[in-house]
C-alpha cells in the first residue's frame, strides 16, 4: 500500500512541478507583453507630440524623399495604424486572413503606399533582426499585399477620399 502511495506522490509532485513551470512561462510571457506595450505606448506618445507640434517633426530622422510637413504627419499617423495592426496580429487578436484583407484596403490609398515606400525598409530590418516569427510574417504579408496593390494600378489620391462638404 505504501508503494502505491509513493508512486501516486511522485505523479502528484510531477504534476505540481509542471504546473509551476507553466505558471512561470505564463508570467514571463505576460511580462514580455507588458514591456512591449510600454515600449509601444512610449513610441505612440512621441509620435503624438510630433503630430501636435510641427517643429518636433525635425527631431525624427529626415524622410527618404522630400515631402511636406503635412505629408510627414500623415505618414507618421499611418505608421501608428500599422503598428497597432502588428500588435494585434502578434498577440493573436487579428488573424492572417483579416490582416490580408485590411492591407488590401489600406494599400488602395496614396498615403498608405507612401508610408510603405518610406517606412517599409525599416519594418523589414526590424523583422529581420526580430526573434519573433510573427513579426517577420506580418512584414511578409504587408510586402505581399503592397506589391499586389501596386500591380493592380494607381492608388486613390488622398484628395479624392471624400466629397466636398455642401
Hey, what long-range contacts does 155-163 have (CB within 8 A, 24 or more apart)?
155/107, 155/108, 155/109, 155/110, 155/112, 155/113, 156/108, 156/109, 156/110, 157/110, 158/74, 158/109, 158/110, 158/111, 161/109
Residues in the chain: 166
In the predicted structure, residue 141 carries a pLDDT above the cut 80: yes
Predicted confidence at residue 110, as pLDDT, reads 96
Q: What is the mean pLDDT of residues 109-137?
A: 94
> 1: pLDDT confidence band, cut at 50, 70 and 90?
low
> Given this model, what pLDDT does residue 6 score?
77
Lowest mean pLDDT among 27-41, 96-110, 122-136: 27-41
Q: What pLDDT was estimated at residue 12?
A: 87
Decide if pLDDT at 30 tops 80. yes
Name the nearest CA neighbour of 79 among 38, 53, 46. Answer: 46
Its pTM stands at 0.77
Amino acid at each position: 500500500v505504501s508503494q502505491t502511495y509513493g508512486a501516486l506522490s511522485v505523479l502528484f509532485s510531477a504534476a505540481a512541478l509542471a504546473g509551476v513551470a507553466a505558471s512561470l512561462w505564463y508570467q514571463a510571457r505576460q511580462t514580455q507583453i507588458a514591456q512591449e506595450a510600454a515600449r509601444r505606448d512610449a513610441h505612440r506618445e512621441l509620435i503624438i507630440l510630433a503630430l501636435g507640434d510641427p517643429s518636433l517633426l525635425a527631431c525624427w530622422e529626415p524622410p527618404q524623399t522630400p515631402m511636406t510637413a503635412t505629408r510627414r504627419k500623415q505618414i507618421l499617423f499611418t505608421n501608428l495604424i500599422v503598428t497597432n495592426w502588428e500588435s494585434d496580429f502578434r498577440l493573436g487578436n487579428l488573424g492572417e486572413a483579416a490582416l490580408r484583407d485590411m492591407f488590401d484596403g489600406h494599400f488602395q490609398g496614396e498615403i498608405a503606399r507612401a508610408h510603405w515606400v518610406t517606412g517599409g525598409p525599416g519594418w523589414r530590418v526590424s523583422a529581420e533582426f526580430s526573434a519573433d516569427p510573427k513579426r517577420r510574417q506580418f512584414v511578409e504579408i504587408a510586402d505581399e499585399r503592397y506589391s499586389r496593390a501596386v500591380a493592380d494600378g494607381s492608388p486613390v489620391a488622398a484628395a479624392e477620399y471624400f466629397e466636398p462638404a455642401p
